[in-house]
Structure 1
């Protein structure tokens, strides 16, 4: 469901400087592999969502700087049964969003199943069910092109982990509806010699040239390549148009060329910041001799470098400050669009009833044999939103009939994770600070500290500090005096994603069924 019309302004990161300029990143959150289009006066963005559900976030802007999360185009990943279990690093890779014949299209490659497409006439509402456009292994980073001669094409890259080959770009023909690939494809660029791991392909046509924008050299260390040809199948000329150069913005690549209504060109891309994820930058762009020039050439080698701040795009009017939602007071119907589950959700995991100003998370039994929370599907998570921030919440635990075995809390999730939770035994309630180092490989969770609580309720807080994402846990029984607990934890990225912060409510296998936790609010603040 689309979000309400409230305007949200983050306390921890705002790109609009309110003086006619903006600072990068424009979104300091893990909207990996962003793609952006303009439709009339509106701009729409989507991004990779991998195994998280719902997937395919849809963001909207009027000025290219202030963005609102308005929808998720993919309520559940497909095949649905496959993604009932956490599939870390799999799922939705590098989508492209396009507008054709009054409809919005998103194409993405699932490295294990093939190329999917969803479409809609209204991006705020429900998107159509996914269509499998091309079945196959390792087909990723897909982008369509409706040519002016009536032909329809799809460019894509290859994931070496599945296809056994990478550093190739391939063009396929599609049917007129864009719902099915109709040939075996033709390779149009081989990057093995100078553009290893070329991927992230985006298709454009301008002034008779076909353009493929494609990053190479790796996620955190690479550069942005642009290829051009008068023929869809090449041969393509090559030019590097964006690199880190003398700046601190590593791996600037993979994104979207967007034109404003007055023909200004801009380029969105990401920067990989480890635990903070792949954050979104915006670069000025101009055309010279039918080649794009991005950012500014600080070191004068003919290749653009990313800017840290710049004048805002000229769209002819000013717009209110707005950022993707973070805090959730749980006072509406449903939970905020920023929340994602660790796998396809089950309706019995939570309840958010109209009129109840809290979220109820039921105590769901952990799958048998799991040593930690890495493979728990019902983790409710959102992205790190800024270099420095605090996440806080108030949780009450209701074990019902069970004497032991129910736990609820707050978590910083990655290949390592740490939690602060409330649990219980026959004597009463306990708060625990735990961690699982190397959780991805099955290490067991260990307790760093535990304290007795007087009641079944506590306030939880995590303070996160840059540049390393060091997390300090604290708790309070009255919401005023907070006590540090446990030890500092260094946040780690997940599989192709940044660290996430969020909530969980679980039961041991042995405990009697039942139990739940009530979450009064979840707040992101300074």
Structure 2
């Protein structure tokens, strides 16, 4: 059975709402700009990105002080009183803030600060008399005037999950039938991740936990999707209920390495005795290949940069131009334009003109974990940064002029070995043998830590570097790629 995400690649913390026959979904984006991708669907399994809610620096002022896996955490997306509301934590840039829009494709407002809302993972819910309630991780709750950002009264504590459970977070509050339900994630966002729920007579409780908690977890199982948690509920027009949640697809030996980050999954929900029962994952539609020849004046909505996009232009017709800032991907101000990797097996290529500088094609997790093939100054190099070690793995002299750089994933070096990584990455110049093939486990969350996944893209290290096109193609996955 396939278990494809509904939104593959690093798209964690999904939050969903429905307006008529249309579903909208938002995800975390951390240190990448623009922030908070917004998706649309009519059937819950096929999703199209409409844009990004935070596409102006006034909305998302990320700087080099923002660490990787910092930035934008866990949005909640809701529709109320004819408007879309997006509440989110922007770590190290003002705490909790609120955005509004009449169209989910944008434009979204500048942030409304919420100085009285403390904690991460804020949720929004309105009761029958129009009072707005905000609940944050750990069970803190306060009433809010959402148009001004002012809190009403003092915060109070509501249900915070299983006693002693790690990291009660991702609260969502719902009025369903005659009860108010408070759903949370707990157990940490690693293999112990889970979803639990409680219900009560009012938005502020008192809440009684579901006797079958956790209602969703894959811990201690051989299920190919692990770390399941951080969920949100939505009701379809036909009355059926569904849950979106994050999960990962680990591969390789022990302990299993996930490289795409936490992805968005879908499962049906039924109700028994007034409690939700979560069914098996419903497979989404796999993402297709991607090609950008940079002929259009605007960037495709899927392109993201590290913290800002100020040195990325289209000043040469039909080309992408990157002006170097930081000297390498080790730097927080590197000039980089990339896309989330969305498949376990893929092949990416770009045509680069390095005649005015030095740059290349990279696979990035953070400043301390990335691989790249770099062209310029008459040579091509494959570079690996793993923790505190940075090394030139291979080097080759080349003639001046444009060339196609390539990176391709492959099977692990020792399939079936408990110490084998999830995949390999081969770097080279198109039409020539690979310059180097590197172990993929070092670009995984289990090695690097953090909350993101692999991002593939182009960068500039010195001077000005031009790129004519970028292509991302799917490769067939073999059975040996699974644990």
What residue in structure 2 maps to residue 463 of structure 1? 408
Match of 1:412 among 363, 376, 382: 363
Q: Report how far residue 397 of structure 1 moved.
A: 1.0
Inter-partner Cα distance in structure 2 for 1:458 and 1:200: 46
Inter-partner Cα distance in structure 1 for 2:79 and 2:393: 52
What residue in structure 1 maps to residue 314 of structure 2? 352
Inter-partner Cα distance in structure 2 for 1:471 and 1:141: 35
Q: Deviations over 1:486-522 (max 9, x none)?
A: 2313223363111211110122xxxxxx533233233
Counterparts in 2 of 1:76 and 1:377: CA distance versus 1, 3 Å: farther
Match of 1:487 among 430, 434, 437: 437
Match of 2:325 among 343, 365, 368: 365
What residue in structure 2 maps to residue 301 of structure 1? none
Counterparts in 2 of 1:290 and 1:178: CA distance versus 1, 3 Å: farther
Inter-partner Cα distance in structure 1 for 2:2 and 2:240: 16
Contact 1:326 1:338 in 2 (8 A): no
Is 1:244 aligned to residue 218 of structure 2? yes
What residue in structure 1 maps to residue 396 of structure 2? 451
Cα RMSD, aligned residues only:
2.5
Is 1:75 aligned to residue 55 of structure 2? yes
Counterparts in 2 of 1:430 and 1:141: CA distance versus 1, 3 Å: same
Q: Deviations over 1:421-457 (max 9, x none)?
A: 1020xxxx1000011110xxxx353111110112222
| TM-score, normalised with respect to structure 2 | 0.85
Q: Report how far residue 61 of structure 1 moved.
A: 0.9
Contact 1:188 1:234 in 2 (8 A): yes
What residue in structure 2 maps to residue 269 of structure 1? 245
What residue in structure 1 maps to residue 101 of structure 2? 120
SS of match in other structure, 2:335? coil
What residue in structure 1 maps to residue 459 of structure 2? 504
Aligned residues: 445
Q: Deviations over 1:79-112 (max 9, x none)?
A: 8655255531212111000001111111012344
Is 1:227 aligned to residue 198 of structure 2? yes
Q: Deviations over 1:148-169 (max 9, x none)?
A: 1221110111xxxxxxxxxx21
Q: Report how far residue 234 of structure 1 moved.
A: 2.0
Inter-partner Cα distance in structure 2 for 1:343 and 1:377: 9
Match of 1:169 among 139, 147, 150: 139
Contact 1:34 1:256 in 2 (8 A): yes
Q: Report how far residue 254 of structure 1 moved.
A: 1.1
Counterparts in 2 of 1:190 and 1:262: CA distance versus 1, 3 Å: closer
What residue in structure 2 maps to residue 25 of structure 1? 5
SS of match in other structure, 1:330? coil
| TM-score, normalised with respect to structure 1 | 0.79
What residue in structure 1 maps to residue 428 of structure 2? 475
Is 1:37 aligned to residue 17 of structure 2? yes
Match of 2:302 among 329, 338, 358: 338
Q: Where in structure 2 are the equivalents of 1:276-291 lying within 5 Å? A: 276-291=260-275
**Unaligned residue ranges in structure 2 (runs of 5+):** 250-257, 413-420, 476-483
Q: Deviations over 1:450-484 (max 9, x none)?
A: 101122222111112467453433333xx5x2321
Contact 1:67 1:322 in 2 (8 A): no
Inter-partner Cα distance in structure 2 for 1:271 and 1:506: 34
Contact 1:343 1:377 in 2 (8 A): no
What residue in structure 1 maps to residue 479 of structure 2? none
Q: Report how far residue 134 of structure 1 moved.
A: 2.8
What residue in structure 2 maps to residue 299 of structure 1? none
SS of match in other structure, 2:318? coil
Is 1:203 aligned to residue 173 of structure 2? yes
